Chains A and B, each alone.
Chain A
Amino acid sequence: ETGVTQTPRHLVMGMTNKKSLKCEQHLGHNAMYWYKQSAKKPLELMFVYSLEERVENNSVPSRFSPECPNSSHLFLHLHTLQPEDSALYLCASSPGRNTEAFFGQGTRLTVV
């Protein structure tokens, strides 16, 4: 295991629901990331937090809302999603922004 834990592992939600994905690391890392992984597409970076401050937001729709309450936890709040948002959502952390990122196992999200 990498030390990056994501919950839940699987999530099915309707388009009108609100849900949250959680990521936790106790590695002492200062940077945390959300990625979207869709079949046959490159991994897409969504958000980057460094020392609890958001430093990157790759034009992600506002129906995805990240939160980093402390250096060990990262959330992705979801609301009014679309079926095309169905994907594997990966969290990662790294000691610094230029060092190796360690990925969690991901949350498989299905929007119905």
Chain B
Amino acid sequence: QQQVKQSPQSLIVQKGGIPIINCAYENTAFDYFPWYQQFPGKGPALLIAIRPDVSEKKEGRFTISFNKSAKQFSLHIMDSQPGDSATYFCAASIGNFGNEKLTFGTGTRLTIIP
């Protein structure tokens, strides 16, 4: 079964800390791993994505770490700010099949406290 397992379900971190959200997958055919950020009352928005040919990708304060052998990937937020408080979803797909084949995790509600 194509599934992406995400943890933790919720996370509270002090401002300036580094929250880490983890995802694990089973299907080795997955080759595209995006993260989405969703603020209350809004739809999800693509935050950052990685393909398995690299082990890390950084965009600003957001970093994806990818471990192909362990079939795991994680999102790190450096110097976290209260404005980063949102729900974060990981996802995975087989790239050629596009958006309709995205498998999402269950989400992590992140709260950054001042």
A residues in contact (CB < 8 Å) with B:
2, 4, 31, 33, 40-43, 45, 48, 55-56, 90, 92, 94, 96-106
Contact = CB atoms under 8 A, between A and B. Distances in A.
Interface of B: 4, 9, 41-46, 89, 91, 95-100, 102-107
* Across the A-B interface, the 5 shortest Cβ-Cβ residue pairs: A103-B43, A97-B98, A42-B104, A43-B104, A98-B98
B45 A97 contact: no
Contact of A98 (B4, B43, B96): B96
A57 to B, nearest CB: 10
- Considering residues A2, A96, A101, A102, which has the most beta carbons from chain B within 10 angstroms of its beta carbon? A101
- Considering residues B41, B44, B96, B107, which has the most beta carbons from chain A within 10 angstroms of its beta carbon? B44
Contacts of B9: 40
Contacts of B100: 33, 45, 48, 55-56, 97
A45 B102 contact: yes
A92 B34 CA distance: 16
Nearest to A100: B46
Contact of A103 (B41, B44, B103, B106): B44
Nearest to A88: B43
8 contacts: A33-B100, A40-B9, A40-B107, A42-B4, A45-B102, A56-B100, A105-B43, A106-B43
